[in-house]
Chain A
Amino acid sequence: MMPGIATFADAVLAAPLPLAAINWHSFFFVLFAALACGFAVAVVAAENVVRMALYLVLSLGATAGLFFLAGAEFVGAMQLMIYVGGTLVLLVFGVMLTAQAPFVSIKGSGRDKVVAGVVGAVLLAVLLQAALSVKAWRAPAAGVVADPAATPIGMALVGVRVDEPGVGAPARNVRPGYLLPFEIVSIHLLVVLVGAAYLARAKRRKIPRAIDVAASAEPPASVAEHAAIGRDRQRSGSVLAGGR
């Protein structure tokens, strides 16, 4: 191990103009890409669901860094706010609610892992071949001066385009914005909000709990009624406090 590190340091120091030759955009790209891919692999490799959530946070955060490097500042900020700030809070909340000891790590069988690994490797080979086969995609960046602004995307979302026309866009002065998709997504989010609240709502019990019956003015008429209430509580199998 040590000789390897020593020769690595030698190679770095012996390289001509080691610091001046570094393209810092590429340096940070390699850093964020290694973090994103490494933690994505860690999500797959981890058995503990809490650690998986942590690795997913780090992977998605590093991806936001990649977005910033690609000049998509608004998308990177939304990635941090919605994914890392919202979706991951939801996921961690779900992990905490369901993290009983037997479910923290559910191990799959060895055969499943081998099959999944082989299929994943084949898929990765196909995707890498496709990504590297087009010559125009491998052309190094021409070095456009960065001009960070959220105005074009904000204006386009309300239907006014102030950006340069892209590939295949008509070169007219008036180009379609994204007002209709924006509205569709907003309605979609509203429906999802209502649907999620409906799915996760606290269900009303048909028969009152024994503690409520005891607190009420009239005691249960008979011992048989007490027994029925107890049987119902056992059968319902509700574990969460919100599930009753």
Chain B
Amino acid sequence: MTLGLAVATPVFGLITQPVSVAHYLVVGAIMFVCGIVCMAMKRNALGVLMGIELVLNGANVNFVAFASPYLQGEGSRSLGLDGQVIALFVILLAAAEAAVALAITLNFYNNHATVDVDRADDLKG
């Protein structure tokens, strides 16, 4: 009984109360940290790329949350269109970065026949 209530009460509180900017910030923080850990932990170059995508996406969630007029409380104003436009630019730059990084990864794979980032030590002094 206590276990069921302990799960049900916060969830019910979440879905009956209106969301605020802080809700979005928590989601963004979780995605950001997942991306950082992914970048640090994965040895596959494509895994590192996916971590970068997650980090950029977490930042985008924050931008959109601050830009949204629907999430602001009484008396406070949103960032307006600035946040949405910055989120769009971040999406575009992420696409550009993914294209170049994939070209570099494929070149690395061609030259070294591996995608293990620990083997990319040719420039080590």
Interface residues of A (CB under 8 A from B): 3-12, 15, 21-23, 25-27, 29-30, 33, 36-37, 40-41, 43-44, 49, 52-53, 56, 59-60, 63, 66-67, 69-72, 74-75, 78-79, 82-83, 86-87, 90-91, 93-95, 97-98, 102-103, 106-108, 112-113, 116-117, 119-120, 123-124, 127-128, 131-132, 134, 136-144, 146, 152-153, 156-157, 161, 163-167, 169, 178, 181, 185, 188-189, 192-193, 195-196, 199-200, 237-240, 243
Contacts and interface: CB of A to CB of B under 8 A. Distances in A.
Contact of B37 (A44, A93, A95, A237): A44
Q: Is the interface of A mostly helix, strand, loop or mixed?
A: helix
A91 B89 contact: no
Contacts of A140: 17-20, 73
A139 B20 contact: yes
Nearest to B32: A127
A136 B66 CA distance: 11
Contacts of B67: 70, 72
Contact of A240 (B36, B95, B106): B106
Contacts of A123: 33, 36
B120 interface: no
Contacts of B116: 103, 106
Contacts of A116: 37, 40-41
B89 to A, nearest CB: 6
Q: Is the interface of B mostly helix, strand, loop or mixed?
A: helix
Contacts of A27: 15
Nearest to B69: A144
A78 B91 contact: yes
Given A87-B98, A124-B29, A128-B26, 7 more contacts: A63-B31, A72-B87, A86-B95, A119-B37, A120-B33, A128-B29, A134-B22
20 contacts: A7-B3, A23-B18, A26-B14, A29-B23, A30-B15, A33-B27, A40-B30, A49-B44, A59-B57, A72-B68, A106-B42, A117-B37, A141-B20, A144-B72, A152-B81, A153-B88, A165-B80, A167-B77, A169-B80, A189-B92
